[in-house]
């Protein structure tokens, strides 16, 4: 992006001169009256010529100033496009952070639920505690709630990402942003889908006793 040049220099201010008085022709100068008046008109004409040249300089200055303002306006428009494009990227990253917060919550619930199930299952096999369905049910509920949070977060993230891409393409077509950078793949979404698969495996382990995690 080209930076506008400096402001064009202003022409030197003209100091007003006193207009010469109209010559008074005496009786002795009547024969030279035409010559005297001709010199007077020439002086006035030279003065008008100088003022005309100054007005021309001012006109050129206004033209240069107008072009400078036009370049400055283009520069500001370019900056506005870049700021708008960066705002779109910040919005996308904010959506990723929101999904990561949901992933952390879901991970805590799934991990805590499966840990409770494994702990009470080991104690029951060791005959330390009598068998019961309460720990198993509680663990399964925690895992299912964690998966529900993930499903809702993934669905909302995909919906928002599609809307953001459509809005970005619309703004790029309208010339509000450049839109030349590639829209990146959401790593948070990949992690969330992977955690959802892990949650499904944990739920299947509790429901059907499948040894999906290398258990015995």
What ranges do the domains of the chain cover? 28-71, 87-208
What's the confidence (pLDDT) of residue 102?
Answer: 93
pLDDT band at 52 (very low <50, low <70, confident <90, very high): confident
Give the chain as a 3 state SS string. CCCCCCCCCCCCCCCCCCCCCCCCCCHHHHHHHHHHHHHHHHHHHHHHHHHHHHHHHHHHHHHHHHHHHHHHHHHHHHHHHHHHHHHHHHHHHHHHHHHHHHHHHHHHHHHHHHHHHHHHHHHHHCCCCCCCCHHHHHHHHHHHHHHHHHHHHHHHHHHHHHHHHHHHHHHHHHCCCCCCCCCCCCHHHHHHHHHHHHHHHHHHHHHHCCCCCCCC
Share of the chain above pLDDT 90, in %: 23
Mean predicted lDDT score pLDDT of the chain: 78
Q: Which residue has the higher pLDDT, 129 or 123?
A: 123
What's the confidence (pLDDT) of residue 216?
Answer: 46
């Amino acid at each position: 992006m080209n930076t506008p040049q400096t402001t064009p220099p202003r022409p030197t201010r003209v100091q007003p001169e006193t207009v010469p008085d109209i010559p008074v022709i005496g009786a002795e100068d009547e024969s030279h009256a035409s010559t005297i008046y001709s010199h007077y008109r020439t002086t006035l004409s030279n003065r008008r010529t100088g003022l005309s040249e100054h007005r021309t300089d001012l006109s050129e200055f206004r033209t240069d100033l107008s072009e400078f303002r036009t370049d400055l306006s283009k520069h500001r428009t370019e900056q506005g496009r870049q700021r708008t494009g960066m705002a779109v990227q910040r919005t996308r990253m904010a959506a990723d952070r929101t999904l990561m917060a949901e992933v952390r919550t879901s991970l805590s619930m799934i991990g805590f639920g499966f840990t409770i199930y494994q702990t009470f299952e080991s104690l029951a096999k060791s005959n330390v505690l009598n068998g019961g369905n309460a720990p198993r049910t509680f663990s399964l509920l925690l895992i299912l709630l964690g998966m529900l949070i993930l499903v809702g977060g993934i669905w909302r993230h995909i919906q928002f990402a599609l809307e953001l891409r459509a809005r970005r393409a619309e703004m790029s077509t309208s010339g509000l942003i450049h839109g030349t950078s590639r829209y990146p793949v959401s790593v948070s979404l990949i992690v969330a889908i992977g955690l959802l698969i892990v949650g499904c495996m944990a739920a299947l382990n509790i429901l059907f006793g499948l040894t999906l995690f290398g258990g015995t």
